[in-house]
Structure 1
């Protein structure tokens, strides 16, 4: 009888230790559950992981980075900067999250333009009614020895879809695109051919391309907005 009680107590203590060990080994799951409960259904907590700073945890809500404490009581919005090096750790982490595989892109769904030897490659997601896209296109004219893949994603208006179809279905899509984006010549062709617009939109949704222009380089990194040509050249140089 005493032996049975002793064995039962040992088993209970062992099970308690295992459960305690698991709790200590997986605080991230507990924090995730706690924060998700507080944020509700409107925000999806993708993951929780230890942050570079002791005592803090990185919280991914969609692709946005937040930080929290071990209790999940606080949600901190801001950037972690390493003072010794001046490195913006949050910015670098965000860049990694936004990275794609270049091979995931489908060149056949893009308007292709080769200049010079075409050795440097760039993908641009663009809406024909996007003012910043038009500004970017004027800047991109300064690039040489480059292959530019332009993926049309009509996200701004129904007219964007119409123009995108007219551009794609024209005899020379690149000329029609540049005539409109740089010279303001409205596409006049019929929008009666098969287009990759739905596929481009699906790609944009999958990879979180929510604004135009968005640029991708061969290392998978993305630059949102009308990027300065100097920054594009600097990025190309870093890929050599």
Structure 2
């Protein structure tokens, strides 16, 4: 027969264990990724945006942010264990697209790597598949129309884009959609391209559109709010 004190300890341990189990089950993650700088760019706003929302609570979800390398193989290698670890409710990739004046909500990822410039390891893919034997394309599974409506209501210039390019951005979106395709609990997956920062344009001497960081961050917060309410 156990002593009263031992019973109290056991009940207390069970209560703590139950609370921890409840917390584990209740915590839901939205995984946000950005990219490091690449090419001639000394900065990448997607990196700063991802870091700015890391750890935030959005509805019933907590944001977990990761910065990916601009590398043909290492980006997926970095992402794969995090997907397994977090089992996120949604995955939102962020990237930089110079020449675009608005926030671009990407509709589709195609199974081709045709880099317009080398990655940060000096590798330049030329017409290779993102996943050998994979489908021609995958559509993003985040609520694009609702995201666009919310951004427009906030006065943030945005549009739904039908091409994520053929660089690491498209490759990462395709890889993630392919990776989660067979999972019993598939997260919603999307990609958002942001314009250059004003300082990046000023330093280039080129005629390029730009967007300041606070507006980009407001756009990301708006998008996360829509996704959190949908998953």
TM-score interval, smaller chain: under 0.3
The structure whose Rg is larger is 1
Name the one with the larger helix percent.
Answer: 1
Instruction: Calculate the TM-score normalised by the size of structure 2.
Output: 0.25
Instruction: Calculate the TM-score normalised by the size of structure 1.
Output: 0.25
